[in-house]
Chains A and B, each alone.
Chain A
Amino acid sequence: MLVFVARRLVVSFFIVLASTALMYVLVALSGNPLQRLLEYNGPGRAERIAARTRALNLDVPVPGRYVLWLQDVGRCIVPGGDDCTMGLDAQSRPVLPQLQSAIGSTLRLVIAATVLALLLGVITGIVTALRQYSTFDYGVTLIAFLCFSLPLFWVSTLLKQYVAIDLNSWLANPEMTYAALLGVALIAGLIWAVVIGGERRTRLIVFGVSAVATFTTLFVLLTTNWFRRPTMGLLGILLIGLVMAFLWAALFAGLRPRTRRVLYSALAAAAAGTVVVALAGPLMRSMTWWSFIAVSLVIIGVGVAAGLVGGGHVKRLAAQIGGLVGVTVVVLMAIDQMLGAYPYVYRRTGGRPIPTTGSETPNLDGNFWQTNLDLALHLLLPTLAIMLISFASYTRYTRASMLDVLNQDYVRTARAKGLNERTVIVRHSFRNALIPLATLVAFDFAGVLGGAVVTETVFGWSGMGLMFQRGLTNVDPNPVMAFFLVTAVATVVFNMIADIAYAYLDPRIRLS
């Protein structure tokens, strides 16, 4: 494993070297950095030209310039390098500080989009594969094709121009007519009926139950003014935690007598986790990343312990599911706290909580939860826009991969052994279907980074995309190269993670 990582790092280093060299030459060929100054006729023309030539080493031929740039970058790798600048821009300012301020927001956006697209795409892909040629399958296929055909900037603009404005207006005055409520409920019912599928009778029942549930929930939330002061509370965490624990146990262990203990320990994990959340109450106001991680670890640990204690013969499985329940409780806790932070953010953003420009509200000055809620809200629309294409390709790919696996001999063997459908799918198909996906994630990551360039422009983020675009427009090579350096390193690292995941999923592959 270590040998593998070391070897990959060496290979990756050369790939990054080659790709930056290629891009440096292309960028250098794309235009003359002095063009504007040459057309400029004002005073100090000669000095300006000289200054820029010096800053960008324009008196050196392109290959030499690349080596000089490499030196500038190299100083950042050498420990204690004080003159780490990553080169100067056309205004003779070092690039590094600009990059430092830009990199955080962009990576946040890119990682959020990748993770969400992967999660949703895989789940949707699996369900469509299991419901091949159903209405749901055709619907998702159509949506995927639509996503493939939507220009990113167009969608972003649409989201910004219509969704954000309307949603903000509604949130300022959250009311619904009975007709609208009924409409939403019917649509929700329809979606669930299509997703779950089955016999006509099942569909009707699903439709009815989910429509009524949606209607009631929305009605209660609206009448209690939940959308102005949203909250979940300990009771909410407990209830949702218990339901999720039940679902996880049913999905990964089944509800047969033999695994009944897994269910019980999962439910216990949810309850115990909620107790920890309650005990940690005083910590919430002054939460930092460190204390958040500590609390999370305690909750997950309690879940695992519940599994180990209550699991009996199936201890390991119960502990794994207990841990999963712990993670669920952590997520619920975070959501609960962020909901509590909503009124503050709402006030500070002047009643427009869904932002359309920038990556954070300036001078928000909030606590841990308020800051993170603000960041999350800023991420909402750009992430949604970038996600679409990745989501579509993950869905299609997972579906194809899953269908392929379901046709394999070993799945037939599993059926011939008399295993139930849940086991056949979760244990014998799901993991195998994920194997080819690992490679796709790495490729897709570069695409998402490209998407970030476009989306940042639309939403006015001052991230790396903007840095790239402005640098290229002004024929300013070093900021552009900083962008390429970061993307190349990120892609290479993602590739390596994908390969490790690949080896983890597939025992036939050995990392050496």
Chain B
Amino acid sequence: MTDQRPSSEGHERIEAQMERLVATDTDVLEVEPAATAIPVAARSSARTIVNRFVRHRAAMGGLVALVLIVLLVFSSIGIGPIPGWWPLDYRVPQAILNGGKPTLQLWPFSLGAHPFGQDNIGRDYFALVMAGAQQSIIIAFLVGVIGSAIGTVIGALAGYFRGWTESVLMRITDVIITIPLVAIAAVVAKGANGRGGVWLLGLFLGFVTWTGLARIVRGEFLSLREKEFVDAARSVGVPSGRIIFRHILPNTIGVIIVSATLAMSSAILLESALSFLGFGVQPPNTSLGQLINNYRSAMGPRPWLFWWPGLFIVAIALAVNFIGDGLRDAFDPRQNRQKA
């Protein structure tokens, strides 16, 4: 009963209308082919998208911020066995200096001995936050990629084949959507923690976060499969697999990239919420959410133990969200910015 959605058609019509109103059609009494035989440097659609993205100030700001954060997080304490430029180990307690207060100074800039302070047993909090952020970023990335991949495949199959395939897949999706994400993720994460580390957690969380994208991709497929270029392909006998992956999927790539980006930002939040509830990353591993949970009781005397990981979560999620918004505008210029 909810197949009447006037809005998206409306968009297209308005767009077409605007094009008609604004464009001066070159087709009126067509130019003779010979006149245009000189190859014209075509503005490919990829470049248009990049241009639009670059013009989106908030998105570019988000991108720069994210790159800086990732560089900082991975270069400071190193990746795995590769050492970083920060000398202190996050596992080793040090002598507590000045009550463990942060020594970071913005003007004149100096890091000091413990820029983010120390925790109650003297461990360097900067190193701890960096380690936690590494894990959080890895999990978010995994969840985003896996969830998007599953969602894309399920949505594509349901949207293209319709019939019972669609019914079954979409009923499964409906069922999962009725369950609060945090709750189902907590159950799954609890299961993952009994068996392995951070990577398994990311993988398992990916298995429960695909529903939104599956619905979106299905919607895209439902409308695209009715387009005449798909009929054209079918009329010459292009096989289904090739139609799905070569003809339809490339046309949904914008939606998928945007959703994957936004899925990563919500994955950061999801991971931190789970770790906070005690179902996420388990010691000896650490993550931003787990840091906040660990030091919740110490918040009164040492507020920085609460602030730093929180700020990192917000900064990463905000940056990714802005990137997602910029990508959406770049891929889907229907709501293009026209200042009156």
A and B associate in one complex:
yes
The chain A residues found within 8 Å of chain B, CB to CB, are: 15-16, 18-19, 22-23, 26-27, 29-31, 133, 145-146, 148-154, 157, 161, 400-401, 403-405, 407-409, 436, 439, 443, 446-447, 449-451, 453-454, 457, 468-469, 472-473, 480, 483-484, 487-488, 491-492, 495, 499, 502-503, 506, 508-511
Q: List 11 A-B contacts (CB under 8 A).
A: A30-B187, A149-B265, A149-B318, A152-B269, A153-B273, A161-B306, A400-B335, A407-B10, A469-B278, A488-B178, A509-B2
A483 touches B299 (CB 8 A): no
Q: B339 and A472: CB pair below 8 A?
A: no
- Which of B1, B171, B292 lies at the interface centre, i.e. has the most chain A CB atoms within 10 A of its CB? B1
B296 A157 Cβ-Cβ under 8 A: yes
> Measured between alpha carbons, how far is A223 from B139 in the docked complex, in Å?
55
- The answer to the question of B174 belonging to the interface, with a C-beta cut-off of 8 Å to chain A, is yes
Q: A19-B176, A145-B318, A453-B183 are in contact. Are A151 and B191 (CB under 8 A)?
A: no
From B180, which residue of chain A is reached at the shortest CB distance? Answer: A450
Structural contact, B310 and A447, CB atoms closer than 8 A: no
Report how far A506 CA is from B7 CA in the complex, Å: 13
* Contact string against A for B residues 174-188, beta-carbon threshold 8 Å, 1 for contact and 0 otherwise: 111111111110111
Provided the pairs A484-B179, A488-B179 are in contact, do residues A472 and B187 lie with their beta carbons within 8 angstroms? yes
Q: How far is the CB of A380 from chain B (nearest CB, A)?
A: 21
Residue of B nearest to A8 (CB): B1
Inside 8 A of B277's CB, which chain A residues have their CB? Answer: 153, 453-454, 457, 469
What is the CB-to-nearest-CB distance from B173 to chain A, in angstroms, rounded to a whole number?
Answer: 11
Q: Within 8 Å CB of A145, what residues of B? A: 318, 321-322, 325
The reply to whether B175 and A149 form a contact with Cβ atoms under 8 Å apart is no
8 Å CB interface, B1-55 against A: 1-2, 4-7, 10-11, 13-14
A7 to chain B, nearest CB (A): 10
CB nearest neighbor in B for A488? B178
Any chain A CB within 8 A of the CB of B210? no
> Which of A29, A133, A450 makes the CB contact (< 8 A) with B183?
A450
Name the CB-closest residue of B to A454: B273
Whether the pair B7, A26 counts as a contact (CB closer than 8 A) is no
Given A22-B176, A26-B188, residue A509 in contact with residue B1 (CB < 8 A) = yes
Give bound CA distance, A221 to B11, whole Å: 51
Residue of B nearest to A512 (CB): B1
Chain B: which residue is nearest A19 at the CB level? B175
Asked whether A31 and B191 contact (CB < 8 A) given A149-B318, A408-B10, A450-B183, the answer is: yes
Cross-chain contact of A148 among B14, B306, B321, B335 (Cβ < 8 A): B321
Q: Is the CB of A152 within 8 A of B273?
A: yes
Chain B residues near A453 (CB-CB < 8 A): 180, 182-183, 186, 277
Shortest CB distance B304–A (Å): 13
Q: How many interface residues does B have (CB within 8 Å)? A: 54
Interface-centre pick from B180, B289, B292 (highest chain A CB count, 10 A) = B180
Whether the pair B180, A151 counts as a contact (CB closer than 8 A) is no
Q: Which residues of B contact A509 (CB under 8 A)?
A: 1-2, 4
**B279 interface residue per 8 A CB criterion:** yes
Q: Decide yes or no: A157 and B179 within 8 Å by CB, A31-B191, A151-B273 being known contacts.
A: no
Chain A neighbourhood of B5, CB < 8 A: 436
> In the complex, how many angstroms separate the beta carbon of A168 from the nearest chain B beta carbon?
16
Q: How far is the CB of B167 from chain A (nearest CB, A)?
A: 12
Name which residue of chain A comes closest to B315, CB basis: A149
| Chain A residues, CB < 8 A from B191 | 26, 29-31
Q: What distance in Å separates the Cβ of B253 from its nearest Cβ neighbour in chain A?
A: 21
Known: A19-B176, A454-B277. 20 other contacts (CB 8 A): A15-B175, A19-B178, A22-B175, A23-B184, A26-B188, A30-B190, A30-B191, A149-B318, A151-B310, A154-B292, A157-B296, A157-B299, A401-B7, A404-B10, A450-B182, A487-B179, A499-B2, A503-B1, A509-B2, A511-B1
B203 to nearest A CB, angstroms?
Answer: 15
Residues of chain B within 8 A (CB-CB) of A449 are 180, 183
Partner of A146 from B11, B187, B265, B318 at Cβ < 8 Å: B318
Question: Which residue from chain B places its CB closest to the CB of A448 in the assembled complex?
Answer: B180
State whether B182 touches A148 (Cβ < 8 A). no
A18 touches B175 (CB 8 A): yes
In the assembled complex, which residues on chain A have CB atoms less than 8 Å from the CB atom of B299?
A: 157, 161
Cα distance, A258 to B126, chains bound together (Å)? 69
Question: 8 shortest A-B CB distances, which residue pairs?
Answer: A450-B180, A450-B182, A149-B317, A149-B318, A30-B191, A30-B190, A491-B178, A154-B310
Closest Cβ of chain A to B192, distance in Å, is: 9
Bound: A26/B180 CA distance, A:
14
Of all chain B residues, which has the CB nearest A153?
A: B276
- CB interface residues, B 305-324, toward A, < 8 Å: 306, 310, 313-314, 317-318, 321-322
Which of B2, B174, B313 has the most chain A CB within a 10 Å cutoff?
Answer: B2
List of A residues within 8 angstroms of B246 by Cβ? none
Q: Select the residue from A150, A151, A511 with max chain B CB neighbours within 10 A.
A: A151
Within 8 A of A (CB), among B48-81: none
Does B283 reach chain A (CB closer than 8 Å)? no
Say yes or no: A506 contacts B4, CB within 8 Å.
Answer: yes
Bound CA–CA A129/B1 (angstroms): 28
Q: Check A446–B1 contact: CB distance below 8 A.
A: no
Q: Which of the residues B171, B184, B339 comes within 8 Å of A26, measured between beta carbons?
A: B184
Q: Does B284 contact A (CB under 8 A)?
A: no
In the complex, the answer to whether A15 meets B188 with C-beta atoms within 8 Å is no
Least distance between B331 CB and chain A CB atoms (Å): 15
The answer, among B174, B177, B194, B321, for a CB contact under 8 Å with A149, is B321
- In Å, the complex CA distance between A404 and B171 comes to 30
The reply to whether A150 and B187 form a contact with Cβ atoms under 8 Å apart is no
Residues of chain A contacted by B265 (CB below 8 angstroms): 148-149
- Give the nearest-CB partner of B296 in chain A: A157
Given A153-B292, A454-B277, A472-B190 in contact, is the A487-B314 Cβ separation under 8 Å? no
CB within 8 Å of A: which B260-318 residues? 265, 269, 272-273, 276-279, 289, 292, 296, 299-300, 306, 310, 313-314, 317-318
Find out whether the CB atom of B318 lies under 8 angstroms from the CB atom of A23. Answer: no
Closest partner residue, chain A, to B269 (CB atom): A151
Q: How far is the CB of B321 from chain A (nearest CB, A)?
A: 5
Q: How far is the CA of A243 from the CA of B296 in the complex (A)?
A: 47
Assuming the contacts A487-B183, A509-B4, asked whether A157 and B321 have C-beta atoms less than 8 A apart, the reply is no
Residue of chain A at shortest CB distance from B292: A154
Interface residues of B in 124-182 (CB under 8 A from A): 171, 174-182
Chain A residues with Cβ under 8 A from B276's Cβ?
151, 153, 454, 457
- Measured CA separation A447–B273 after assembly (Å): 13
From A18, A29, A154, A499, give the contact of B313 (CB < 8 A): A154
Nearest residue (CB) in A for B190 is A30
A20 to chain B, nearest CB (A): 9
Q: With A403-B335, A407-B10 known to touch, is A23 a contact of B187 (CB < 8 Å)? A: yes
Q: Which residues of A contact B174 (CB under 8 A)?
A: 15
Contact of A447 among B180, B272, B278 (CB under 8 A): B180
A152 partner residues in chain B, CB cutoff 8 A: 269, 273
What's the Cα separation between A195 and B19 when bound, in Å?
33
Task: Flag if A18 contacts B325 (CB, 8 Å).
Answer: no
- What 1/0 flags go to B196-229 for Cβ under 8 Å of A? 0000000000000000000000000000000000
Given contacts A148-B321, A151-B289, contact A404 B187 (CB under 8 A): no
A403 and B313 CA atoms in complex are apart in Å by 32
Q: Once bound together, how far apart are the Cα atoms of A31 and B187, in whole Å?
A: 9
**Distance of A455 from chain B, by nearest CB (Å):** 10
Provide the bound-state CA to CA distance between A468 and B184, in Å: 11
Closest to A29 in B: B191
